[in-house]
Amino acid sequence: MTSTTVAPLTRATVRDATTATYVAFIGSGFAFASWACRIPQVRDRLGLDSASLGLVLLAIAAGSLVALPLSGPLVTRIGSARTVGIMAVLLGVGLVVAALGSLVGVAPVVAGLVLLGFANGAWDVAMNVQGTVVERHLGRSIMSRFHAGFSLGTVAGALVGAVMVALHVSVAVHLTVVAVLVVLAVVRYARRFVVDHDADEPAAGEPSPRGGALAAWREPRTLLIGLFVLAFAFAEGVGNDWINVAAIDGHHVPAALGTIAYAMFLTAMTIGRWFGPRLLDRYGRTAVVRILALIGIAGVALFVFGPAPAYAFAGTLLWGLGASLGFPVGMSAGGDEPRRAAARVSVIASIGYCAFLGGPPAIGFLGHHVTVLRALAVVAVLLAVAALIATSVRPLPATHPAPAEGGKPAADRTT
């Protein structure tokens, strides 16, 4: 197989790889949401204020940012299948350490979250690279549906978490069981991934790409897409980390309803990502993500400034819908050229994950002065920036398969 032609795989093989990619995304989302929905209980047990909680949550982003620059070369060397399998095990270990650590103190929780973040960062890049490969073999846009799988996993994780909170199941027991189930499922299915194009040898007479991720760091389009993804990642990440807390502390709803508000946010993201491909193929990446950014701005405003909890719940739906397609569209844009997909996705994800590094402490520290609820208005500002630079995600005018910018899919996307 070369990077310029798609090897003749059987439909069954591609179908298995598609299913396996969904499992990787769902498992990642389920594990992450399982942790996120128990943040208020961990906070209360450790006696943390909003600023201290922001620093603890920073550990996940720190671990991810260490992993992301390394993930491109790692995926290129050992492939997305092995990367996802190894990182699933590491993530499970980190989740268990954080869960059990919550019974002891802050230090073991931070250690577990750093490991969890490291594994999640490399896992994220690897499964997105596999997603671009499967998308090309299928010959149609599907990346946002893989991310819908992630969101579906987060919805399931949040709903299970709400039940665990209502039944007063301990954080340690809940997250340990989740870790075991996720590791077993993901490791098994990752073996069905198809070979990554970026790991293959270049075609005869075709120059091999030089510089890897370092060269990608010098590409203006890649960097601008990274900024675009950062804005949407901030909107998504802050929603994941703070909607639960802000609903409880800012709108004074019970803990179980706070978790439901978080689940509504995730549900809206899942819907947006599942139905997104049809909109992207018909209207193009730029128009769709720009409109969604505006919807997200309206949702954040409603959540932050709504006079009653009912407005806040409606705001979470618009916020989730508005944030739904930014990250997957950025990943697809990074993978427009197959042989550079791993390097570019690594760079874009590294920039995007800066939102997870800066988001939790920024909201935490700002919330310490103006309340967490009011601090969430920062999300609307970054979504406005994303709307302004949305043209950066237009497909490359190359012969490689990529979704067309409006209208029908490009003719060369057939395999």
Q: What is the pLDDT of residues 215-230, one digit of tens each?
A: 888 899 999 999 999 9
Q: Is 208 inside a domain boundary?
A: no
* Residue ranges in the chain whose pLDDT is less than 50: 1-7, 198-210, 399-404, 407-415
Task: Look at residue 365 and give its three-state secondary structure.
Answer: helix
| pLDDT at residue 231 in the model | 94
Q: Is 204 inside a domain boundary?
A: no
Q: What is the pLDDT of residues 128-149, one digit of tens each?
A: 889 888 887 887 778 889 988 8
CA–CA separation, 3 and 119 (whole Å): 27
Q: What is the pLDDT of residues 73-119, one digit of tens each?
A: 888 888 889 999 999 999 999 999 999 988 888 999 999 999 999 99
| pLDDT at residue 405 in the model | 54
Kindly give the interhelix angle for 326-334 and 143-166, rounded to the nearest 10 degrees.
Answer: 140
Kindly write down the DSSP assignment for every residue of 74-135, as one continuous string: HHHHHHHHHHHHHHHHHHHHHHHHHHHHTTT-HHHHHHHHHHHHHHHHHHHHHHHHHHHHHH
Q: Is 7 inside a domain boundary?
A: no
State the number of CA atoms in the 13 A half-sphere of 303 facing the CB: 38
CA–CA separation, 286 and 91 (whole Å): 34
> Nearest to residue 195, comparing CAs of 14, 397, 403, 11?
14
CA–CA separation, 43 and 40 (whole Å): 5
Whether the CB-CB separation of 118 and 63 falls below 8 Å is answered with yes
CA–CA separation, 118 and 273 (whole Å): 25
Q: Is 149 inside a domain boundary?
A: yes
Q: Is 5 inside a domain boundary?
A: no
> Nearest to residue 175, comparing CAs of 117, 112, 222, 235?
112
- Domain with 90 in it: what CATH number? 1.20.1250.20
**Domains identified in the chain, total number:** 1
What is the span of the domain harbouring residue 371?
Answer: 14-199+214-401
Whether the CB-CB separation of 80 and 196 falls below 8 Å is answered with yes
Q: Is 277 inside a domain boundary?
A: yes
Whether the CB-CB separation of 293 and 387 falls below 8 Å is answered with yes
Token pair of 116 as six digits: 């969890």
Token pair of 96 as six digits: 């268990």
Q: Is 114 inside a domain boundary?
A: yes
Q: What is the pLDDT of residues 196-212, one digit of tens each?
A: 764 444 433 344 444 56
